[in-house]
């Protein structure tokens, strides 16, 4: 199975990216192929509202670094998305990325992608109350679930959690990846 990882943090070695990479390492060790997109290193534009996706039933035509992602997503069996929480919300680049999935709904609002892509969300926040922003993360992941993706797990890192080899959260991330 092919697994796509989309990392939203501007910090390649930050906690959300580190945990997402551990999920992906587990997936690789289970025999899956993995492709990682780091949004901070890409040129990604927001949805232009052109409606070409609706009118012609095609993937997003915006010419940016997400173009190869759309073709990959159609054959993927899993999607791992990660983001830090800035200002009580998933970081801006990930919201832009999420909004671009508008193209996966046809003009009758039917999903244009195969159902059952396994979805894992990985988030990092400063607040030590792991539950504090779960509604925000559910809202974000809900957009993907509305595209018939199947949520497998939501991993939330707080500043109290270690993100080092062998730490409980890293072990959980690895197990989640292996389970995909």
What is the Cα–Cα distance from 152 to 80, expressed in whole angstroms? 10
- Kind of pairing, strands 33-38 and 2-7? parallel
CB distance 126 to 85 below 8 Å: yes
CB distance 42 to 73 below 8 Å: no
Torsion of CA 60, 65, 67, 69, to 10 degrees: -110
| Domain definitions of the chain by residue range | 2-7+17-179
SS3 10: coil
162 has pLDDT over 90:
no
**How distant is the alpha carbon of residue 17 from its chain centre?**
11
CB distance 3 to 34 below 8 Å: yes
What is the Cα–Cα distance from 12 to 103, expressed in whole angstroms? 28
Give pLDDT tens digits for 97-106.
999 999 999 9
SS3 109: coil
Fold classification of 2-7+17-179 is: Rossmann fold (3.40.50)
Give pLDDT tens digits for 73-123.
999 999 999 999 999 999 999 999 999 999 999 999 999 999 999 999 999
What is the Cα–Cα distance from 55 to 9, expressed in whole angstroms? 33
Give pLDDT tens digits for 2-21.
999 999 999 999 999 999 99
Give pLDDT tens digits for 51-80.
999 999 999 999 999 999 999 999 999 999
Torsion of CA 142, 146, 152, 155, to 10 degrees: -20
Using pLDDT thresholds of 50, 70 and 90, give the confidence band for residue 171.
very high
CB distance 20 to 7 below 8 Å: yes
CB atoms within 10 A of CB 94: 23
**Extended strands (E) in 43-149:** 78-86, 89-90, 118-125
137 has pLDDT over 90:
yes
């Amino acid at each position: 199975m092919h697994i796509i990882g989309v990392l939203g943090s501007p910090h390649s070695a930050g906690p959300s990216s580190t945990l997402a990479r551990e999920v992906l390492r587990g997936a690789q060790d289970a025999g899956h192929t993995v492709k990682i997109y780091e949004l901070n290193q890409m040129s990604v534009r927001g949805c232009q509202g052109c409606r070409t996706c609706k009118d012609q039933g095609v993937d997003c035509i915006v010419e940016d670094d997400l173009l190869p992602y759309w073709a990959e997503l159609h054959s993927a069996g899993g999607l791992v998305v990660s983001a830090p929480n800035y200002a009580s919300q998933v970081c801006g680049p990930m919201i832009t990325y999420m909004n671009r999935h508008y193209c996966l709904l046809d003009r009758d609002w039917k999903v244009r992608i195969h159902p059952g892509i396994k979805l894992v969300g990985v988030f990092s926040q400063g607040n030590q109350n792991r539950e504090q922003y779960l509604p925000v993360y559910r809202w974000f992941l809900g957009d993907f679930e509305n595209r018939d993706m199947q949520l497998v797990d939501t991993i939330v890192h707080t500043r109290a959690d270690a993100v080092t080899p062998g730490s409980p959260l890293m072990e959980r991330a690895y197990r989640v990846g292996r389970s995909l």
